Amino acid sequence: EAIPGAKLVEIERHHKRGFCCGAGGGRMWMEEKIGKRINHERVEQTLRTQAPRVATACPFCLTMFRDGIAAKGAETRLQVKDLVQYLAESIDGEAPRLTTTSG
């Protein structure tokens, strides 16, 4: 809402039901051996919104999304940036369509 003209689309798991990767607690350095990687799941959830961009204020989410986007081969369908980058771009008059994280 702070970016004029931007459309906010929420990922299915957000706010109180958010799906934090746990990187702030050191989870980023642990390699999952079984099950689906959290960053892959978050990217899949984001792709289902069909929003071309995702905004996050968490530096760990930024890294996890970049890695997940690359692993899924979704670089042409989804872009992730820090929320502040999108705010700065909006000053130039470009209003992106955003999906936000709540991690």
CA distance 63 to 43: 12
59-91 pLDDT per residue, tens = 888 998 999 999 999 999 999 999 888 888 887
Buried b (16+ CB within 10 A) or exposed e, 36-63: eebbbebbebbbebebebbbbebebbbb
Closest CA to 24 of 50, 59, 65: 59
Domain spans of the chain, in order of start: 8-17+37-100
Residue % of the chain over a pLDDT of 90 = 26
Q: Looking at the predicted structure, is the pLDDT value of residue 96 above 60?
A: no
Q: Looking at the predicted structure, is the pLDDT value of residue 101 above 70?
A: no
Q: Looking at the predicted structure, is the pLDDT value of residue 53 above 70?
A: yes
